[in-house]
Amino acid sequence: MSATLVIRPMEAADMERALDWAAEEGWNPGLEDAAAFRASDPGGFFVGECDGTPVSCISAVRYGEDFGFIGFYICHPDWRGQGLARPLWDRALEHLKGRTIGLDAVLAQEETYRLAGFESDYHTLRHGGLSVATPPMDPRVAVLGQGVMPSVLAYDRPFFATTRDRFLTTWCAPMIAGRRGYVFVEDGTLRGYGVIRRCREGFKIGPLLADTPEIGDTLFQALAGEVRGQMVFLDVPAANEAGLDLAEQYELSPEFETVRMYRGPSPELDLARTYGITTLELG
Cis peptide before 213 (omega within 30 of 0): no
Classify burial at 213, counting beta carbons within 10 Å of its beta carbon; exposed 0-12, middle 13-18, buried 19 or more: middle
Per-residue pLDDT, averaged over 69-87, amounts to: 88
Task: Please state, in angstroms and rounded to a whole number, the distance separating the CA atoms of residues 278 and 283.
Answer: 8
Nearest CA among 262, 270, 202 for reference residue 69: 262
| Helix and strand element counts for the chain (H, E) | 8, 13
Alpha-carbon 114 to chain mean position: 21
SS3 172: coil
Q: Among 15-19, 60-64, 87-91, name the one with the lowest average pLDDT.
A: 15-19
Longest dimension (CA), the chain: 69
pLDDT at 1 over 50: no
Task: Specify the pTM.
Answer: 0.93
Encode pLDDT of 181-240 as tens digits: 999 999 999 999 999 999 989 999 999 999 999 999 999 999 999 999 999 999 999 999
